[in-house]
């Protein structure tokens, strides 16, 4: 067979409409086995092979009969896709690129730190929150990731077995894709799945209030709220979501839930020189926090193209901001930047976007930040 026809045959096999099992909950798997007249216990076996033993093919599922494996393979696949590329930072951070169809890709970032291996994962192709300072938002929104495409980032990297924590802080707004995100959290935290403590999972959000309420009430994962500016008009110039869900209202809602014990609520605050890094801004932030159980993480700004109004705050101003909050009973720390040399740091993830998509995204970018009137 000539190479062209061989390639065509492989593509025809690849394009066969096989539904991935990775990303399904136990209830989903029970639906699969019931529809194929298989015993109920086969669903539990599938969950163990997928999420405990983490196999990549039906042939490895040796306690499932050959007949059932063959029947499953006619309609389903395990659904794991390895990353297409990996970039290694000087500080040990690794950025993985995952194709997700339609000539799009998303990135996941592994951050090793002594006895912790934290994986930062993506939940959308791009993002429609349109934050001025974020590379992901600059490319626009190209669709939600499925539960399979999200969990694949965890299961398919070489370090999968050594991951200690997962943070939904990659590309996209997790709560704009709430149902697949909840499925993946269920897989991670259920006895039949990874059996992780919910405290090993953190979901970051700009404050999509209805979905955030759902997340807080249906899970016990940590919450990280991206605030970045407590002055409404200034925050709105950076983050259009402020108009729909004012951050003060979001924090007031979160203040009704218990974050005083093991579960953590943190505020993420990127610092920009002469824009939000002075004592008056620290005071405005303190005023909207509903209680002192909330932790504040100060984040260095990582410069991106086409954001000329924003500059990174200096160490002294960040330390002043931190010390002011700590002095008023708010636990505040400065987060160490990781992976900036490979564009893997906060706000820098972009995946691969075609040039025409880049141009369309620029036409839809957020307005420039507005400084507070004196």
d(CA 259, CA 261): 6
d(CA 363, CA 304): 16
Nearest to 76 by CA among 50, 51, 99, 101: 50
Nearest to 326 by CA among 277, 267, 286, 276: 286
Identified catalytic residue from 131, 134, 332, 346:
346
Identified catalytic residue from 107, 149, 186, 268:
107
b/e sequence 21-43, b meaning 16+ C-beta within 10 Å: bbbbbbebbbebbeeeebeeebb
As separate numbers, helices (DSSP H) first and strands (DSSP E) second, the chain gives 14, 14
Cβ atoms < 10 Å from Cβ of 311: 15
- Mark whether 120 is an active-site residue: no
d(CA 241, CA 305): 22
Exposure on the CB side of residue 268, measured as CA atoms within 13 A: 19
d(CA 152, CA 56): 11
Per DSSP (E only), the strands in the chain are 19-20, 76-77, 85-88, 94-99, 105-113, 116-120, 124-126, 141-144, 165-168, 201-205, 222-226, 265-271, 295-300, 332-334
- Mark whether 107 is an active-site residue: yes
d(CA 227, CA 374): 22
What positions carry a catalytic annotation?
107, 346
């Amino acid at each position: 067979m000539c190479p062209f026809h061989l390639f065509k045959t492989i593509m025809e096999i690849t394009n066969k409409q096989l539904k991935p099992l990775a990303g399904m909950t136990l209830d989903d798997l029970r639906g699969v086995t019931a529809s194929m007249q298989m015993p109920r216990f086969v669903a539990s076996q599938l969950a163990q092979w997928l999420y405990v033993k983490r196999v990549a093919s039906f042939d490895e599922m040796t306690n499932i009969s050959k007949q059932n494996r063959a029947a499953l393979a006619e309609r389903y696949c395990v659904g794991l896709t390895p990353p297409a590329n990996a970039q290694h930072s000087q500080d040990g951070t690794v950025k993985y690129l995952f194709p997700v169809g339609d000539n799009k890709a998303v990135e996941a970032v592994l951050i090793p730190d002594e006895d912790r291996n934290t994986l930062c994962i993506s939940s959308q192709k791009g993002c429609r929150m349109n934050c001025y300072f974020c590379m992901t938002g600059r490319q626009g929104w190209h669709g939600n990731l499925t539960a399979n495409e999200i969990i694949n980032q965890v299961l398919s990297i070489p370090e999968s077995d050594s991951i200690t924590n997962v943070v939904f802080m990659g590309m996209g707004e997790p709560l704009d894709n709430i149902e697949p995100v909840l499925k993946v959290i269920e897989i991670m935290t259920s006895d039949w799945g990874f059996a992780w403590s919910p405290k090993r999972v953190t979901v970051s959000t700009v404050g999509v209030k209805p979905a955030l309420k759902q997340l807080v009430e249906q899970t016990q994962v940590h919450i990280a709220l991206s605030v970045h500016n407590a002055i409404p008009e200034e925050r709105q110039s950076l983050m259009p979501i402020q108009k729909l869900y004012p951050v003060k209202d979001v924090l007031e809602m979160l203040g009704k839930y218990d974050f005083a014990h093991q579960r953590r609520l943190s505020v993420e605050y990127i610092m920009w020189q002469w824009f939000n890094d002075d004592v008056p801004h620290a005071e405005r932030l303190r005023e909207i926090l509903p209680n002192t159980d909330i932790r504040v993480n100060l984040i260095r700004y990582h410069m991106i193209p086409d954001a000329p109004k924003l500059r990174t705050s200096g160490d002294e101003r960040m330390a002043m901001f931190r010390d002011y909050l700590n002095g008023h009973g708010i636990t505040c720390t400065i987060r160490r930047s990781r992976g900036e040399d490979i564009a893997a740091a906060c706000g820098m993830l972009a995946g691969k976007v075609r040039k025409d998509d880049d141009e369309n995204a620029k036409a839809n970018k957020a307005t420039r930040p507005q400084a507070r009137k004196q």
